[in-house]
A = this chain, B = another copy of it.
Amino acid sequence: MKIEGLVTCPDTKARAGQIQTDHGPINMPVFMPVGTAGSVKSLSPVDLIETGSQIILGNTYHLLLRPGMDIMESAGGLHKFMSWSGPILTDSGGYQVFSLGQLNRITEEGVVFQSRLDGSKHKLSPEISMDIQRVLGSDIVMAFDECTSYPATVQQARSSMQLTHRWEQRSLDYFRSTQPIYGYEQQLFGIVQGSVYPDLRKESAKTLVDMEFDGYAIGGLSVGEPKDDMYAITDVVTDILPQNQPRYLMGVGKPEDLVEAVSLGVDMFDCVLPTRNARHGIMYTWDGPISVKAAREKDAHIPLDANCECYCCKNFSRAYLRHLFKANELLVYRLASIHNIHFYHELMAGMRQSILEGKFSAFKKDFFTRYNLKRAETNK
């Protein structure tokens, strides 16, 4: 998977470009809303398109447990099931097994775990994960890895990384030996591990590049390590990954993280923060996040952001949103999610435009000058 029209920033490692999928092109850098269980929480496909979403993420773990792969297959894959005609990226299921599942056993073969829903036993392995992602029919498939927990000693991190490399090679071999089910192409991304150890991360990046994946992800970050470690490791890894293939920093992050990581050469992101925060009334603005549930918004008959073009800001006031939150009205979760997802996409689009115009450094400086102003208000 080659990046087309790659443009790089003269001062930083930021890049802009486009990748092609059989469900449409993706302008990068890009943020991918998370559709955990076959739905980006509270948003319809039309909402996603109107907020500027180009690609969404689906979670293999959740979809495997519910509705299950028999239903996903009879539906004709995840796109048809959820009526989303754009590109989809699915994770391998590994991360949720380790973070959410009741893990019974890890062996060289794979993992056995119990469903958090009904206690039923399930297996995941590189081959099973590839089979599942073939059934889901995602445009971008993630290799099956072990997300190294934090903190880990260097020995633990190395051992986990080596297992990940063997699993990723098996993912790749099996994936290349199978065919898409639904008549369109699927791409496979490898995942760099190695915890917070630069030498391990370099080794992991080189090993994966040698395997020749379609794209590369940086996994095992944003799992509790200091921010500086996250940025330093990202910096180390993007120095090694091929310039002309996409790079995806998994599970990141806050708006300021996206700006930092783009400047370090990352192209793709996913995170539940904008939708989760929206459901709690934490709304993103260019001056930083605010709580629209706060008493001071009681009679604020003004939009969250007077310059925002989202459906929420064009039609509804902070006072109305606050009222809906207080009254537990379902509408507000959607309106708030529309705004936050739109904000994330606007942030990415702003970065992209500034890179294309050779002005990314100025964009980044302006962003932090303004966003920092009120950041102390809330740290979401």
Contacts and interface: CB of A to CB of B under 8 A. Distances in A.
Interface of A: 37-39, 41-46, 62, 66-67, 70-71, 74-76, 80-83, 298-299, 301, 311, 315-317, 319-320, 323-324, 326-327, 329-335
Contacts of A82: 320
23 contacts: A37-B323, A38-B323, A38-B329, A39-B324, A39-B331, A39-B332, A42-B334, A43-B331, A44-B311, A44-B334, A46-B311, A67-B326, A71-B298, A71-B299, A71-B323, A74-B319, A75-B301, A75-B319, A81-B319, A83-B316, A83-B320, A330-B333, A330-B334
B66 A331 contact: no
Contacts of A71: 298-299, 319, 323
A288 to B, nearest CB: 26
A74 to B, nearest CB: 5
Contacts of A335: 44
Contact of A67 (B37, B38, B315, B323): B323
A66 B320 CA distance: 11
B66 A323 contact: yes
A45 B315 contact: yes
B330 A42 contact: yes
Contact of A42 (B46, B315, B326, B331): B331
Contacts of A298: 67, 71
A201 B42 CA distance: 46
A39 B334 contact: no
A324 to B, nearest CB: 6
Contacts of A81: 317, 319-320, 323
A81 B327 CA distance: 14
Given A39-B331, A71-B323, A75-B320, 13 more contacts: A38-B323, A39-B324, A39-B327, A41-B330, A42-B334, A44-B311, A44-B334, A66-B327, A71-B298, A75-B301, A76-B301, A81-B323, A334-B334
Contacts of A323: 37-38, 66-67, 71, 81
A223 to B, nearest CB: 25
Contacts of A44: 311, 331, 334-335
A15 to B, nearest CB: 34
A82 B312 CA distance: 11
Nearest to A301: B75
Contacts of A80: 301
Nearest to A322: B67
Nearest to A76: B301
Contacts of A311: 44, 46
A37 to B, nearest CB: 4
Contact of A38 (B38, B324, B330): B324
Nearest to A67: B323
A91 B329 CA distance: 20
B327 A75 contact: no
Contacts of A37: 323, 327, 329
A96 to B, nearest CB: 14
Contacts of A316: 83
B74 A299 contact: yes
A97 B315 CA distance: 31
Contacts of A45: 315
A228 to B, nearest CB: 36
A48 to B, nearest CB: 11
Contact of A320 (B38, B324, B327, B332): B38
Contacts of A320: 38, 75, 81-83
